[in-house]
Amino acid sequence: MPTQLLYTASLPENVNVAYIVQPDALNSVPGLTEPELRFAQSQIEQKGTLIYINRYDYKLYLVMVPKKKTLAGYQEEIRKAGNGLQKVLEADKIKELYISDLTETNAARFLAVGLFLSNYKFLKYKTKSTPASLETIYLTGPEFDETEVRNLHNVQSAVCLARDLVNEPHNFQSAEMLAQQFVQIGEEAGFQTEVLELVQIQSLKMGGLISVNQGSIDPPTFTIMEWAPENAQNAKPIILVGKGVVYDTGGLSLKPTPNSMDLMKSDMSGAAAVAGIMYAAAKNNLPLHIIGLVPATDNRPGGRAYAPGDVITMHSGKTVEVLNTDAEGRLILADALSFAKKYDPELVIDMATLTGAAVRAIGKEAIAMMGTAPEEVKMQLKISGEHVYERLVEFPLWDEYGKHIESDIADIKNIGMAEAGQISAGKFLEHFVDYPWIHLDIAGTAFLTAPDSYRGKHATGSPVRLIYDFLSSQVKSLNGSIFG
């Protein structure tokens, strides 16, 4: 069963407990006997950061608080401690755990997040599998209440939902299948979903999405998700756009090696993140009007596949010279960004596994950010990035980079030079916006080939926590405008 994160007003007796404690404050652990205290101190001297004490009917886990120069670094170390704790709990086959913070630093929240996300497993296609033993995590203490813990649970569940969508194999995840899952998620969470099919997409003249889809036997979809609560604080909607390339071969510009396609089911991570954010916003009754847009297709070299040298007319009316069919994500995003104008949005944030250049520039440790939104909005996003440790690195969109995508025969071309590839991709998208806009290139953070603490292996759910934190911060500051 999915992990449950619950609140309890008081800590019961004789239950499995994780105490978060300062190394020099072991005396603050309730009921610790002298032999247990001496044992714990000896373990600390051996550089132990996690100490567990077996009382046979139940167990105590002492999580030592790390020292970090920054608050964000400290909180991240606590999340990582949750990953270490989950491994011990799995070995001990613990089903229920209570968390109690003895440090007065609100550390229980971060330990719970690390523990919850580390407990994730994708077992759908295992004929023989062992689900995670930990079923329920309880947060206790005066710093929490039931609503706060429920909201925290919903956000972590949203991350796991996004992970599930990305980890799904492509033979079970066509554009139509993905859209149907969005409908089901909307029904569960409480937001409205509309799926536009091929004829409607053609009537809207979405040339980018139509062209990328030409090599596929499966039709494209364009999904509109909307959360519009009666108490929405923003006069204009905030729009989230996610790249939904459910599988990417590179098209006729075929990816150079077979193993470069192995992970290409993950090229719809931006779309999955949008669905996760919409789920969390609706489940938590976030008082914001939010719209999610997902253009979806696969990118294959079959049939009448679009080709290098083609010129296509986009939804906006701009013409694009295609020089590389593996630069397809920006084409379908451009149609969605142009479509977003009809809503007169307050802010648009797109998220996409867009370029290998972003990975080469900043690795798996950060998200590349560009955009035209005011500096205060960018700063608020960066602050949220520090809060959840999905950090952002801003790249410029100087006019000079526009030369990288100048075309001899069309308005622009779909790929720039070898240098600054992530910036020229952002510069391409900029042609299709006339509103405050942020572009997030999540190519490095969305899917990992090796385990990385609580982010796990394969789909991470990035940037669900980042965008939800940003949106929830707007609730506290909004006064009819996101810039208020």
The one-letter code for the residue type at 468 is: Y
For residue 219, whether the previous peptide bond is cis, meaning omega lies within 30 degrees of 0, is no
Q: Identify the burial level of 143 via C-beta atoms within 10 angstroms of its C-beta, where 0-12 means exposed, 13-18 middle and 19 or more buried.
A: middle
Provide the greatest CA pair distance for the chain.
Answer: 81
Other CB atoms within 10 Å distance of the CB of residue 334: 30
> What angle, rounded to 10 degrees, do the helices at 146-167 and 269-283 form?
160
Under 8 Å between Cβ of 75 and 112: no
Helices (H) and strands (E) in the chain, counts: 13, 20
Q: What angle do CA 475, 238, 344 make, to 5 degrees?
A: 130
CA trace torsion 183, 188, 189, 191 (10° rounding): 40
Residues in a beta bridge with 5: 137
| Alpha-helical runs (H) found in 18-135 | 34-45, 71-92, 107-118
Q: Which helix (H) or strand (E) holds 239?
A: strand 238-242
Tokens read off for 231:
């108490």
Report yes or no: 137 and 99 within 8 Å, Cβ to Cβ: yes
Question: In 3D, which of 357, 319, 378, 349 has the Cα closest to residue 463?
Answer: 349
Both tokens assigned to 302: 């079959």
Tell me the residue type at 58.
Y
First to last CA, the chain: 42
Catalytic residue positions, numbered: 255, 330
Strand segments, DSSP code E, in 9-162 are: 17-21, 50-54, 59-64, 96-101, 136-140
Judge whether 293 and 222 are in contact, CB under 8 Å.
Answer: yes
